[in-house]
């Protein structure tokens, strides 16, 4: 009886996990959220710059965003 109660409790606890949508985000939705970089972005670390470059490149490829200017003239 204890095993049955434990199994029922676990099943009940995990039943709500399947109610959310596991569908992947669409490219259109991502492009509406993401904005193109209006100016060049320079990170403090090499690792940070790799992330920034990858994110900007993804926006250019997937969303058709224009490439930011190469100069570092931006809001400061």
pLDDT of residue 30: 79
pLDDT of residue 28: 81
pLDDT of residue 26: 79
pLDDT of residue 32: 83
CB 56 within 8 A of CB 41: yes
CB 69 within 8 A of CB 40: yes
pLDDT of residue 73: 58
Low-confidence ranges of the chain (pLDDT < 50): none
Does this model's pTM top 0.75? My answer is no
Euclidean distance between CA atoms 10 and 31, whole angstroms: 39
**How far, CA to CA in Å, does 56 sit from each of 13, 27, 28, 29, 70?**
41, 15, 16, 17, 12
Euclidean distance between CA atoms 58 and 76, whole angstroms: 25
């Amino acid at each position: 009886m204890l095993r049955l109660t434990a199994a029922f409790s676990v099943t009940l606890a995990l039943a709500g996990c399947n109610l959310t949508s596991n569908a992947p985000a669409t490219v259109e939705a991502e492009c509406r959220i993401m904005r193109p970089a209006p100016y060049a972005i320079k990170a403090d670390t090499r690792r940070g710059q790799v992330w920034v470059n990858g994110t900007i490149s993804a926006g250019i490829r997937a969303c058709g965003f224009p490439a930011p200017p190469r100069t570092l003239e931006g809001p400061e």
